[in-house]
Structure 1
């Protein structure tokens, strides 16, 4: 092999390395996540970022962020906003962490978005996932990532839904649900401080436990319809839209 061939191979290798590196960076936020607790599977299409096809750049864009519960109501929100708003949805099993905040920044780069609706926290109940004393600062940092990347975007926070006893959907789980209440309380404190409006998803369903599916975490279609209606109404409010008539 002559010297010219060696040089060409080296250059080609460097180019390939740069391309692969860029690809890995671009896909890091979209890599297939894993949830070790099988009870917390995603309703709907599964984990990942679902992006709308943009054909009219004048329409507002909305990003729905959430855990397995979002998988149950995102389709309904998208349908209700069809023709008026483009909806992207990032369904993921993450909970408050610096890693999650980094991934959030990468997803926001797919925008810009006019409204970001956040419904996270269900995957943060097992002990050790969120270190004691870090829930509030990590949640605040999460909101600050959105404000830094999307200073003009309206943010809406939705509380985590109730958790019931497995096989007894009309009973609240005494341990896990207590954690959800505590996390919702701390999140509400952060949102009040940052003046971010909230959707009380917990309050909407806590007196409708008959709509729970019985697997502790997920809900029947009637419950998801309630959450979808609440999310849609709040998005329209923040966009200043009063009607969905085309």
Structure 2
């Protein structure tokens, strides 16, 4: 019995000691893979036109530690994404999408729906809350002469007071109005109740109501994505998540494209 106990202790100690080694090995592999992607990305950038290189520089400064590595991996793999450089067709209107990860999710669907009808650009960020918008709006607008700007702030403001949210949103609307572009506000899509994330579904309803008042006062058109997608949440929204599946993003992209077409061809 004593020998058996000693044997079990020895096995236990061996297992505990192996875990850090495995973790270190995994971390080393991850670091090596990231280094290779960075090297391939840097080499790829050198082959691009000056305009494309400038755009990649803007993305490097603004995408952040979460989205930039994803973007780099996709570029190296030759995959298209929401932050592709857009080589404008000069005879088509220029459209800018501003919004969070939900907006990122439907960007490609909007481009597909408006192919040959509009040049669809995306702000170089996950645009997050209104507080970030006030800091970064000039970067997101860039030097572009925009015909239409389709924008949203909401999910990341779910715990911002409605009063502060309203004040910031109104400031953003005033800044966007200065561009002389046609503005389209997208109502924020629904979120589920989730105590672990400190989020309540009603918070989006409240902020959509506040935003609706601001848009009415400023004569800004509304793309009511909240109402459009709500009947389809079971089918289109990921379980217990604010994000959508492929079908959901395709649906939202079509809705956004239709609202943009109305602005282009009133």
Same fold (TM over 0.5): yes
Cα gap change, 1:217 to 1:34, in 2 (>3 Å)? farther
User: Higher relative contact order by CA 8 Å / sep ≥ 6: 1 or 2?
Assistant: 1
Match of 2:170 among 140, 160, 176: 140
Query: What is the CA distance between 1:92 and its match in structure 2?
Result: 1.1
- Matched position secondary structure for 1:135: helix
Contact 2:98 2:150 in 1 (8 A): yes
Give 1:131 shift: 4.8
* Among candidates 179, 202, 217, match of residue 242 of structure 2: 217
Which structure 1 segments of 5+ residues have no match?
Answer: 1-22, 36-40, 167-172, 242-246
Q: Which structure's CA Rg is the greater one?
A: 2
Q: Distance in 1 between matches of 2:58 and 2:161?
A: 27
Structure-1-length-normalised TM-score: 0.70
Say whether the 8 Å CA contact 1:29–1:103 is kept in structure 2: no
Q: SS where residue 156 of structure 1 aligns?
A: strand
Of the candidates 182, 187, 201, which is equivalent to residue 225 of structure 2?
A: 201
Offset at residue 142 of structure 1 (A):
0.5
In structure 2, distance between residues paired with 1:50 and 1:183: 31
Question: Does 1:53 find its partner at 2:53?
Answer: no
Which structure shows the higher helix fraction?
2
CA–CA separation in structure 2 for the residues paired with 1:188 and 1:34: 33
* Residue 113 (1) aligns with residue 113 (2): no
| CA 1:49–1:221: 2 relative to 1, 3 Å | closer
Q: 1:27 to 1:78 in 2, by over 3 A?
A: closer
Question: How far is the alpha carbon of 1:28 from its aligned partner?
Answer: 9.3
Structure 1 residue 158 corresponds to structure 2 residue 186: yes
Kindly state the Cα deviation for residue 84 of structure 1 after the two structures are TM-superposed. 2.2
- Equivalents in 1 of 2:60, 2:165: separation in Å? 21
Contiguous gaps of at least 5 residues in structure 2: 1-53, 75-80
Alignment match, 2:253: 228
Asked if structure 1 preserves the Cα contact closer than 8 Å seen for 2:162 and 2:206, the reply is no
CA separation of 1:92 and 1:109: change in aligned 2, threshold 3 A:
same
- The number of residue pairs the alignment matches comes to 197
Aligned counterpart, 1:185: 209
1:185-204 C-alpha deviation (Å, 9 max, x unpaired): 11111001101110111111
**1:34 offset after TM fit, Å?**
5.8
Out of 177, 194, 200, which is 1:176 matched to? 200
Distance 1:222 1:48 in 2: 17
Q: Are the equivalent residues in 2 in contact too, given 1:162–1:217 (CA < 8 A)? A: yes
User: What is aligned with 1:7?
Assistant: none
Cα offset for 1:62? 0.3
Aligned partners of 1:34 and 1:93 also within 8 Å: no
Q: Structure 2 length as normaliser, TM-score?
A: 0.65
Moved over 6 A (4+): none
Structure number with higher strand proportion: 1
Tell me the equivalent position of 1:75.
Answer: 108
**Once superposed, what is the RMSD of the aligned Cα atoms?**
3.0
Q: Deviations over 1:42-95 (max 9, x none)?
A: 9xx7x98544112x3222100011111012211011011112211101241420
